[in-house]
Structure 1
C-alpha cells in the first residue's frame, strides 16, 4: 500500500486514503472488532477505484470491506456515527432493530468506557493525514491540522482493572478482546501420517504405486510424516464463595477457549458441572447467564480433591490425556491436603501440562501458605496470577508456549 492514496472526491477532498483507512480500522480494533490487514487493503483499494461522493456510499464501502460478522455491525455503526455525527441510523434501514446509538456517537455497550483526550478535544474525528508521533503541545499555527496526544485505548486501560471493579458490559467487552488473543494454539503429534517431502519415513505403498509409471523402478521416493493436531485444553473454574469476584471473568476465559480451541470447561464448588455446551452460545451475555444458572452450588464451599477425582473417573476423564489442564482457584479446600495431593498426582500423570491460576498470586508477598495450595503446587508446571484480564492473557500466552515444548504423548 505504497504511493499516493489521496481520495479525489467531494466528500473527502485531499484526504490520504491509506491514513483514513488505517485510522478507521484502529478505531474499530479499539472497540473489539478484529479488522485484518487484508480488510484494510480492500477498503483502501475500494476508495481508490470508486471514490465515495456521498456519506451513504462511504458507509457501505467501509461496512462491506471491514465488517465480517453480523455481531460486529452494532460496533461499526457506533464508531461510524462517532466519526460522522450519528448518521448510522439514517444510512442503514435495519439499524433501528438494534440497540439505539446515543447522541454522542457511542452505543450503550461503550457508554461506560472513558473517552480519551482526543475524543473530547476533536469530537472523535479521525486523523486523516499521517501525523508524526508528537506528544507535546504544538506551537501556535494557522494550520487546521492538530496533533493528538497518544494515549492508551479504552480496552488497554480496562485490562489492568481488578475484576471486582468491572461491570457486566466492560467484562463482556474484555471477554471479546480475550477471545481474539487465542491465535497461536499448541499442537500434538498424532499417529496419522501424510505425504510430506520433508518427512523422514518412506511411504511404501505410495512409492510402489508411483513406480508403476517407471516400469516398477522406484525412482521417486514418497516421504511421509506424522500429522499434528490441536492439543486438547481442559479448564476447571472454582465458583465457591471466595472466588465470587473472579468467577464471571473466568467464565469469559472458558468461553474464549471453548469457542476458539474446542476446549472442555468445568465449574466446581462442592460438585462438578460441565459448561462446554452452554458457554459456546453465540451471545456472550446469554452464555454467561446460562452458565451461572447451571451451577447450582456456586458461592458455597469448595471440594477440589473430590471434584478432581470425579473428573478423572468420569467419561470425560479421557479428555485429560495429553491435555493442557488449567485450574482456576485460590486453593481453599474443604478436603484434606493429602487427598488433593493424591488427586493432583493422578492428574499430573495423565495431563501434558498443569497450570494453576490463583488470583491471590499477584500480591507482592504471596506465598502458598494454604495447606491445600502447598500440597498441589509440586504437581503444577506453572502457578500464574489471575486477577485482571491482562493476567488472563498471560495464561493464554503460557498455553501457546506449549507449542515450543512439543513432545509426543
Structure 2
C-alpha cells in the first residue's frame, strides 16, 4: 500500500494533521500505528484506514475528524470508507472531555486571523465586554512557564517554546569540567612548580625555602549535539533547536542538525534573539522534514574537520532512532563516536511512553554504545537532560 514511502514520516505527518483538527494523538499512538502497519501489512485503502483508525482514535467523537483528515490525504472528496463512522457523533459534555477550544478569531476564518489556532483549556480568549476585539494572550508568570515544562512539544506554540528556551538557558549555568594540559600555581597542588619556586627564591638569596605547588587548569567540557530534523521528528525539532541555542549561549558547544545531510548551526544559533536564531536555523537546514540517515551523518561528522571537537566532549543525540541506513552501519558509526567522545547521551522523545522498549532495529544497534538514553518529549525532560549532563563526573 505504501511502497517506497518512509513509514515513520507518514505516521508523523498523519498524526500532525490529526492534531491540527483537534484529535490528541500522542507518541504512543504513533508507535502503535507503525507496529500495526508492520503486522497487518495493509494492501488496500480500507485496510490502511482501519489500521490507522484503531490505533490513533480513542473517542467516538473524534471519528469524524479522523475521516476528514484521512480524506484530505487519499481522496479529493470525502471518502465513503466507513458509513457507520459518518453517523453524528455523541454530543460533547462540558468538562474534562473538551481537550481543545478554538479562539474566536480562528473560528472566524480567513488568513488574517491572529492569535493561536488552538489553546488548551482554560481558553485564552477575549472577555465578554470586548468580544469584538482581538484575542489577548496574557503574560506568563515564572510558575506558569515552569508548568509548561510538562506539556508535550506538539501542544506548544512558538511563543511558549521561546519562553521555555530561556528557562533552559538558566538550567545550563552549571556544567561539567575537564582537566586541561595547562597548570597553574597553587599551594595546594601536589606537583612542584619549578619556575615559580625559582622566582620566589630570588628574595632569599636563591635558597628555595618554600616550594610552589601546581595543579591542572580545569575548563568546561565541550558538548556536541546532533538534532534529528526529519519528518518523524517534526513535533520536536523546534524545541530541540531551543535546547541547542541554550547550549550555544552558555557553554562551549557545537550543534548540528541532520536529516539526509549534516548542517552546522553553531554560528546561526549564537544570535541574541531566540526567535531570530531559530528562524535562521530553520532556513539553513534545507533537508528538514524529509528522510533520516543517522549513520551517514555520524560518519560525516567524524570524518570532517569538526570531528576533532568530538574528542573528549559530551555528545547529545536527539532522535527517535528511525533510520534509513542499515542497523549495522549505525552500530559501527556509534562505536567510533563512543570511542572518541567522553560520554554519549541519546535523547529519544518516545522513551517516555509506558512500557517503551528499543525494538526499532537501528535504535537497538546504537544503544550499546550510549552511556544514557533519556526521554526528551517535554521541556521539563530536556531540563532533566541538562541536569544529567551537569552531574557527569571526571573520566581522565
Q: Which of 224, 228, 241 is matched with 2:218 structurally?
A: 228
Q: CA deviation at 1:277?
A: 0.7
Provide the secondary structure at the position in 2 that maps to 1:406: coil
Q: CA deviation at 1:242?
A: 0.2
Deviations 1:109-163 (A, max 9, x none): x9545879xxxxxxxxxxxxxxxxxxxxxxxxxxxxxxxxxxx821122110000
Q: CA deviation at 1:276?
A: 0.4
**2:349 maps to which residue?**
359
Taking a change above 3 Å as real, the CA distance of residues 285 and 196 of structure 1, as seen in their structure-2 partners, is: same
Displaced runs of 4 or more, over 6 A: none
Q: Which of 259, 268, 276 is matched with 1:269 structurally?
A: 259
Conserved in 1, the CA contact under 8 Å of 2:220 and 2:252? no
Residues 1:378 and 2:364 are matched in the alignment: no
Provide the secondary structure at the position in 1 that maps to 2:244: helix
Provide the secondary structure at the position in 2 that maps to 1:309: helix
**1:407 maps to which residue?**
395
Provide the secondary structure at the position in 2 that maps to 1:279: coil
Kindly report the root-mean-square deviation, in angstroms, between the aligned alpha carbons of the 2 structures.
1.8
Conserved in 1, the CA contact under 8 Å of 2:180 and 2:218? yes
Q: CA deviation at 1:365?
A: 0.9
Output the CA distance in 1 between the equivalents of 2:138 and 2:355: 32
Counterparts in 2 of 1:59-208, with a 5 A limit? 112=137, 153-208=143-198
Provide the secondary structure at the position in 2 that maps to 1:198: coil
Residues 1:395 and 2:385 are matched in the alignment: yes
Deviations 1:3-23 (A, max 9, x none): xxxxxxxxxxxxxxxxxxxxx
**2:268 maps to which residue?**
278
Unaligned 5+ segments in structure 2 are 1-125, 128-134
Taking a change above 3 Å as real, the CA distance of residues 211 and 254 of structure 1, as seen in their structure-2 partners, is: same
**2:320 maps to which residue?**
330
Output the CA distance in 2 between the equivalents of 1:240 and 1:115: 31
Residues 1:339 and 2:353 are matched in the alignment: no
Deviations 1:370-400 (A, max 9, x none): 0000000000000000000000000100110
Return the structure number with greater relative CO, CA threshold 8 A, min gap 6.
Answer: 2
